Structure 1
Amino acid sequence: MAEPGVDASLDASIDDDASDRRLGECVRMLRQRLGLSIQELGRRTGLSIGMISQVERGLATPSIRTLRLLGLALQVPISFFFEERPTGPAPRYIVRRAQRRLLRLTRSGVLKESLAPDAPGRMEMYELTLSPGGSSGADFVKHQGEKAGYVLAGTLRLWLDHEAHLLEAGDTFRFPSTVPHMFDNPTEAPTRIVWITVPSTEA
């Protein structure tokens, strides 16, 4: 008979694989809709052809940085990559907790929950949960727009223009997205953050 923890770990691994496949299919669909080759998408994002190919085949879990670059190149907000909303009617301007859409980047130690309604709008708002060691990725990213956030629990290490800032519960931040940035959780406890992104209005 299997040990109690083994089945749970196996189920989690299966869920992770299914999530990676769904995300990869979404990226491939968007790329083909725009008539882009993997090579052209790589040129637009700065990502390697091998990385894009692995993401599309569900063989790699992209970081938040990678998803942001893909979203910009494929002309969709990062919320486009989230799982479908749970069944049931959803108010136009309200998001109930049970109706949040999720993005599981388990191998990166990140869970994103969309807090913004599906109605058209520029502002993106999420609740991020970072597992111990979870991060946005290994490299800095910058783009047009603005970002802000509020640390709900735990510790966030926010890197802005290569300078590290340790934020605790109750701390807030706001910065232009043109500032090179990345973030991670350097502690042994989960970190929860409300994260807001306002993309640029420039074409």
Structure 2
Amino acid sequence: MDGRGDTSSPKDAPTIEPDDTVDQRLGETVRLLRQRAGFSIQDVANKTGLSTGMISQLERARAMPSIRTLRLLSIALDVPISYFFETSDPADVQRYIVRKNSRRLLRLTASGVVKEALTPADKGQLELYELTLNPGASSGTDFLQHTGEKAGYILSGSLRLWLDNQAHVLEAGDSFRFPSTVPHMFDNPTQHVARAIWVTTLRQTDSPSV
């Protein structure tokens, strides 16, 4: 499905949850994190710039978030975005190492994006992912800004990276790095699956700028 032609056996691949299970788990995670922080839905809306209706729908699994939405929520709730990923088998979890068959997944079906976490689940200053973008996939309809840096490398296909309203079409072998304070978003405008390595640095005390 991701265009890699993977012929590995099912036991060597991460377990995939059904879409409705993913939506429900994401919603419950957002709600529990909000309650643990002592925030009301209005508090989270104020911190993220998202509407209270959107946050309520996410918590009730009636809306699927974009990457931008999850990034805003991760900053407001003080967790790495990988906190929202599908969990791995505890027996396979290591503190500093991530095995290929133990990657945690985040499947944003509405956005057409699959993110595989390449870094362990503990908090850190750097997050590393492998992104798979289906045709037409995008990070969302709005630009995102926050402190830190982002960098990446295109493995296959094409990715269109928007930086401060300027589009850059990146092909396999191209790479990038930019301050995350630059308004940014990305999409795959082609009819072919694209794959990329994506790196994000972010201090957990940073606040989103919308």
- TM-score, normalised to structure 1, is 0.90
* Matched letter for residue 32 of structure 2: M
Pick one of 52, 66, 70 that aligns with 2:69: 66
1:45 corresponds in structure 2 to: 48
**For 1:124, what is the secondary structure of its paired residue?**
strand
Deviations 1:24-80 (A, max 9, x none): 000000001111111111111000111111110001110000000000000111011
1:7 corresponds in structure 2 to: none
* Matched letter for residue 59 of structure 1: R
Query: Going by fraction, where is helix more abundant, 1 or 2?
Result: 1
- Count of aligned positions: 190
2:132 corresponds in structure 1 to: 129
**For 2:130, what is the secondary structure of its paired residue?**
strand
Partners of 2:89 and 2:127 in 1: CA distance: 19
Residue 77 of structure 2 is aligned to residue 79 of structure 1? no
Counterpart contact for 1:146–1:200, Cα < 8 Å: no
2:114 corresponds in structure 1 to: 111
Alignment of structure 1 residues 149-164 onto 2, 5 Å: 149-164=152-167
Please identify runs of 4+ aligned residues in structure 1 that moved more than 4 A: none
Measured after TM superposition, the shift of residue 95 of structure 1 is 1.2
Residue 4 of structure 2 is aligned to residue 21 of structure 1? no
2:198 corresponds in structure 1 to: 195
Partners of 1:19 and 1:101 in 2: CA distance: 12
Gaps of at least 5 residues in structure 1 are 1-13
Partners of 2:18 and 2:116 in 1: CA distance: 17
Counterpart contact for 2:78–2:205, Cα < 8 Å: no
* Matched letter for residue 188 of structure 1: Q
Counterpart contact for 1:129–1:192, Cα < 8 Å: yes
- TM-score, normalised to structure 2, is 0.87
Pick one of 133, 140, 147 that aligns with 2:150: 147
Identity %: 63
Gaps of at least 5 residues in structure 2 are 1-16
Deviations 1:140-168 (A, max 9, x none): 01001100000001000000011000000
